Amino acid sequence: MAQLIQLTNYFVLITHDDAVCPPPHQFFIFSPANFTTSPPSRASTSASAFRSSSLPYRHCIALLAANDTSSRGPSPTHQLNPAIPPRHLDNPGFSESILTAFGHLKGNPPNTAPAAASLVSDQDYSLRPNRDILNTRPPPFAAILLHAVYPCLFRALTTPKRNNPNNPLSSTVLEDMSPSATETITTTPTHLDSYFENSKCAYIELNGANIPKQLIEDALKTRVEDIDHDSCEAGDEDAFFVADLGEVYRQHMRWKLNLPRVRPFYAVKCNPDPQVIRLLGELGTGFDCASKAEIEQVLKMDIEPERIIYAQPCKTNSYVRYAASQGVKQMTFDNADELYKMKKLYPDAELFLRISTDDSSSLCRLSLKFGATLDTTDELLALAKELQLNVVGVSFHVGSGASDPLAFLKAVQDARMVFDQAAAHGFSLHTLDVGGGFCSETFEEMAAALSAALDEYIPGHIRIIGEPGRYYVASAFTLACHVIARRTISDPPSTEQSHMLYLNDGLYGNFSSIMFDHQNPIAQVLRSGRQFCFDTIASRESRGGTEYSIWGPTCDGIDRITESIRFDHTLDIGDWLYFENMGAYTKCSATRFNGFSDAHDVIYVASEPGAKALLGMK
């Protein structure tokens, strides 16, 4: 049995035939140019015709090569349906751009979009017909590009089984679904019945917009309904997370679209969740680590040491020795003593000079603790040259949660000055690390400012990396908390009663971001009595409802989550609240104060088929 999903002039074949590539899932991407007839008729075509040119992927994803179009450039038959413009790319030759990005065209067709190429991989995968491409690992974005950029154009068909003794893929037949000139594909919800799509979500809208909430709600509801508060064991009713890895996936594609020149190195400190690291590893990101434990965790995920930067200007000696033993060469410094340390412990390290920046607009300022001021950078470079150390780049960080786009402009200008200083000392710097500070809410604005600054001040041959953390994970995690106690307060001047709600999580747990990260989590009602309210008007704060203050479980008086909030519910012991956007600096900084657990379960869902395919999720 096979399924054919159409993407305008591109198709995806999904099959369970092991002869194509290993289970559990397989799918191929191909265009009409793959057919022996052009344009193909609606006659069925055997999948075996494509097997010889297919490109297996260890995650059961394969891309089929297109015919050479370099001599004629983008042709109308390969252009996307003009009635459905791209959401992110304007290039009419986007079809060719996809194929060019994967290195499957013999030449370089004109007018292909650089942004499309940057979506695909941070490495050059040049595959030629005379190479054994069956044994070549393709770039990690083979499955990702199509669903992320044109998810609304997918539709699925099931082809009938046909027995063919001469065809090793006897159960797999391709039916030509090439669109006619008058055919229009709309963005209304379309049935997606593929083997890697969640069976409970039969419909998707643009970018899967209705899937994430439904998946999260199902996970929350299932977990809460399984708890019997009258008989459960200790720990059964603890707070827990639901993590949508599809959101991490979407954020990655958003990054690649807006910052195509900057390779992300995920800041592990923000949320060292193993499934997040695993997914980002499969997506091809690097990793920003700040300690031996973080380096060790990433390496255990089979991430190459070259994809790690030890971005800690002031390092523990034993940690440096560990990094050296593991081949983690990239690391930062900002002072002379650190240079002497590196000379003694790791003279072969690839060093980045961390410079101070103006981070006055950020939520969490870092310049007071790290970064060499511009009046000291020249002498530090001179010392590094004298010690025969290998300085390869410059790094900066505009502060966590930065909000001023001009901060990036000034930082890039300063970095360019240090590049020039380094050249004067005989260094050939090849990398700029632009740090983190990216927020989802302001990302496009900040990315535009950073891109413009890079284009103006940093030559194209310079490698650019960044250290996003909260950007990737903040919106991916939802936290559910249980009301363990309630206290009623009467205000003598009025007849109104208010309540103090005590949850099984607080500032010493997953809400430490209130104190340390300037966050303001908003409580919403998950269940009141027997009523589930997730993502409805009933779940949200109201103006005229009952007033509540929300507190954590510890004995410390500062353990308050919300000073005042009103709901149209009379909340009581046993009810549940939930908090969205709880993925950044939450569980990673939870403590065991008062003996409460710092280990909270995470339920994983994936609202993007690409994420599910990469992780092998059912």
Catalytic residues: 555
Residue 5: CB atoms within 10 A of its CB come to 24
Q: At what angle do helices 405-424 and 377-386 cross, to 10 degrees?
A: 40
Determine the straight-line distance between the first and last CA of the chain, rounded to whole angstroms: 18
Rounded to 5 degrees, φ, ψ at 200 are -85, -10
Alpha-carbon distance of 69 to 105, in angstroms, equals 7
Interaxial angle between packed helices 317-326 and 292-299, expressed in degrees from 0 to 180 and rounded to the nearest 10: 20
Decide: helix, strand or coil at residue 96.
Answer: helix
CA angle at 325 for the pair 322 and 330, rounded to the nearest 5°: 80
Contact call for residues 96 and 78 (beta carbons, < 8 A): yes
Structure-block tokens of residue 279:
């997914």
Which helix (H) or strand (E) segment holds residue 117: the answer is helix 114-120
Closest CA to 276 of 256, 306, 297, 254: 297
* Residues with Cβ within 8 Å of residue 2, at least 6 apart in sequence: 13, 14, 15, 17, 47, 158, 159, 171, 172, 173, 174
**Beta pairing, strands 10-15 & 26-30:** antiparallel
Q: CA torsion 421→427→431→435, rounded to 10°?
A: -50
User: Which tokens in the block code for residue 408?
Assistant: 């990036």
Q: Strand, coil or helix: what is 216?
A: helix
Structure token digits, residue 455: 């284009």
Considering only CA atoms, which of 33, 25, 31 is closest in space to residue 12? 31
What's the CA gap between 299 and 116, in Å, rounded? 30
> Do residues 557 and 534 touch, judged by C-beta distance below 8 A?
no
d(CA 269, CA 469): 8
The tokens of 507 are what? Answer: 């500032």
